A and B are shown apart, each in its own frame.
Chain A
Amino acid sequence: AQTVTQSQPEMSVQEAETVTLSCTYDTSESNYYLFWYKQPPSRQMILVIRQEAYKQQNATENRFSVNFQKAAKSFSLKISDSQLGDTAMYFCAFLLMNRDDKIIFGKGTRLHILP
């Protein structure tokens, strides 16, 4: 069975700083996707970034980038130039490619951006 672990329950950083959220996962499969989702107080989950395991290049989306280390089964999210609107819960998630379509989520990291 696949598992996703986020070891940082809560983090706080000053506005404009860079912050890195950690995620590790466990799987015996080779083909999968990894995601970072943001959940603001509105509760609506928003996809931040997606990484295909077969791609060596790390995904980036504006201020958001990942450090994907497949051998180490690590998938961290870096937020550069953090903004107050980045305050939210962040969930790391895993999905086997072309299998059961069930996304498995970690327990989340609550991120506070301080003014």
Chain B
Amino acid sequence: GAGVSQSPSNKVTEKGKDVELRCDPISGHTALYWYRQRLGQGLEFLIYFQGNSAPDKSGLPSDRFSAERTGESVSTLTIQRTQQEDSAVYLCASSLASATNEKLFFGSGTQLSVL
């Protein structure tokens, strides 16, 4: 596609349920990032995929959070047993190579609301 696509755009769930958020990066982009943006806050790094290398998971806040990426395509961020503090916008970004050398392109995010 023309840009980074995220789905769903909005997700409302009940506390304790699992959710899956999807990110379709720009075709050919090897790098993919997930960020979390709480209300009124900046972006918090969650996880980074680069090609076939092991992902950098250092930003994941707890073991309830996990993410997968198949090759250089779609990525899924999974949050298990959701809590109210998980409510946030989850943003995905991709770049042709590393952010050091290439521009990041962001999706429009998934607004997650945990009731």
Contacts and interface: CB of A to CB of B under 8 A. Distances in A.
A45 B106 contact: yes
A44 B99 contact: no
Contacts of A50: 103
B108 interface: yes
A45 B93 contact: yes
Nearest to B46: A102
Q: What size tier do the contact residues of chain A reach?
A: 20 to 34
B103 A47 contact: yes
A103 interface: yes
B31 interface: yes
A61 interface: no
Nearest to A110: B40
Interface in B38-76: 40-45, 48, 50, 56, 58-59
A31 to B, nearest CB: 10
Contacts of A99: 100
Given A91-B42, A101-B48, A43 B89 contact: yes
Given A45-B91, A95-B99, A103 B104 contact: yes
In this complex, the member of B41, B59, B99 whose beta carbon has the largest number of chain A beta carbons within 10 angstroms is B99
Contacts of A91: 42-43
Given A44-B106, A102-B59, A107 B100 contact: no
Interface of A: 4, 6, 33, 42-47, 50, 91, 95, 97-108
21 contacts: A43-B91, A43-B111, A45-B43, A45-B106, A47-B104, A97-B100, A100-B56, A101-B48, A101-B98, A101-B100, A102-B45, A103-B33, A103-B43, A103-B45, A103-B104, A104-B45, A105-B44, A106-B42, A107-B41, A108-B40, A108-B42
| 7 smallest beta-carbon distances between A and B, as pairs | A45-B106, A105-B42, A105-B43, A107-B42, A43-B109, A44-B108, A101-B99
